Amino acid sequence: MDTTQLFSLQGRSALITGGSRGIGRMIAEGFLAQGARVYISARKAAACDQTAKELSAFGHCVSLPADVSTVEGAHALAAAYAKHEDTLDILVNNAGAAWGAPYDEFPESGWDKVVDLNLKAPFFLTQALTPMLRKAATDHLAKVINIASIDGISVNPQETYSYAASKAGLIQLTRRMALRLAPERIAVSAIAPGAFASDMNKDARDHGDTVKARIPAGRIGTPEDMAGAAIYLASRAGDYVMGSTLIVDGGVSHAR
């Protein structure tokens, strides 16, 4: 058994939505370190361009700004990516949103925004890019990694109804898509992160000492924790993982 190339992404291409910050950026930097050509997408073009410029210090990184919350936006991103590459080895569906409001006041706008981006976008973007994933799946598997959340697995005290529902739905969608795409040599899996410092998880970012007290591991997640999980699933090492969700949370979902 030769394990020297088990986690390598050398020569692979990867598209990461929500790649300008937070978990998406962590994954992008990890993929670059493993030799992948990385394309990041985000709704805010200036932020996406700046991150790609910064990450280019580690390898080939290109900014493809897009709003994937609509089917039209997903198709536009697929078309933009196709101008750079003929195939796609790895798709990371990471773009997401959250919304919190009391039960009696929770608005339809907060439901639609979150569900469209967190649940609808991964399906329709993967659908649009499936021909390029198929084309890449020659001597190796193509990969789709959906970024879910532990809030789709266990219940927290926050009133984030559409977020929890969308992430639970994404975990089930991952299973369904995996069964459909496995025969085409496309492996679909997911990651359910816990507390990682980001603009979306401001508690972990701004109140890490308080948050880590509730985590069995005694700390919040680091970029290496997230990059390592994503590299595992994206590389040969994760080829036999299909439809499963890898929980990366320091044990907190078991302690709730």
How many structural domains compose the chain?
1
Q: What is the DSSP string of the chain?
A: ---TTTT--TT-EEEEETTTSHHHHHHHHHHHHTT-EEEEE-S-HHHHHHHHHHHTTSS-EEE----TTSHHHHHHHHHHHHTT-S--SEEEE---------GGG--HHHHHHHHIIIIIHHHHHHHHHHHHHHHH-SSS-EEEEEE--GGGTS--SS--HHHHHHHHHHHHHHHHHHHHHGGGTEEEEEEEE--B-SSS-HHHHH-HHHHHTTSTTSS-B-HHHHHHHHHHHHSGGGTT--S-EEEESTTHHHH-
In-domain check, residue 256? no
**What integer is the mean pLDDT of 227-250?**
98
For residue 66 the two structure tokens come to 């897009």
Of the pLDDT bands very low, low, confident and very high (cuts 50, 70, 90), residue 173 is: very high
Of the pLDDT bands very low, low, confident and very high (cuts 50, 70, 90), residue 187 is: very high
Residue 46 is part of a domain; what is its CATH number? 3.40.50.720
Q: What is the pLDDT of residue 204?
A: 56
**What integer is the mean pLDDT of 118-132?**
98
pLDDT in tens, 25-71: 999 999 999 999 999 999 999 999 999 999 999 999 999 999 999 99
Can you tell me which residue has the tokens 């329709």?
124
Residues 6+ away with beta carbon under 8 Å from 110: 99, 101, 162
What's the first-to-final CA gap in the chain, in angstroms? 40
In-domain check, residue 217? yes
In-domain check, residue 7? no
In-domain check, residue 133? yes
90-93 sheet: strands from edge to edge: 61-63, 37-41, 13-17, 90-93, 142-147, 186-193, 245-248
pTM for the model: 0.95
Alpha-carbon span 125 to 123, nearest angstrom: 6
Q: What is the pLDDT of residue 18?
A: 97
Cα–Cα distances (Å) from 27 to 13, 73, 230, in that order, read 13, 22, 6
In-domain check, residue 171? yes
In-domain check, residue 39? yes
**What integer is the mean pLDDT of 116-139?**
97
pLDDT in tens, 66-92: 999 999 999 999 999 999 999 999 999
Which structural domain, as residue segments, surrounds residue 52? Answer: 13-251
pLDDT in tens, 90-106: 999 999 999 999 999 99
In-domain check, residue 3? no
Q: Which residues are catalytic?
A: 163
In-domain check, residue 92? yes
Q: What is the pLDDT of residue 254?
A: 85
Alpha-carbon span 29 to 61, nearest angstrom: 9
Q: In this structure, are residues 147 and 68 in contact, taking their beta carbons and an 8 Å threshold?
A: no
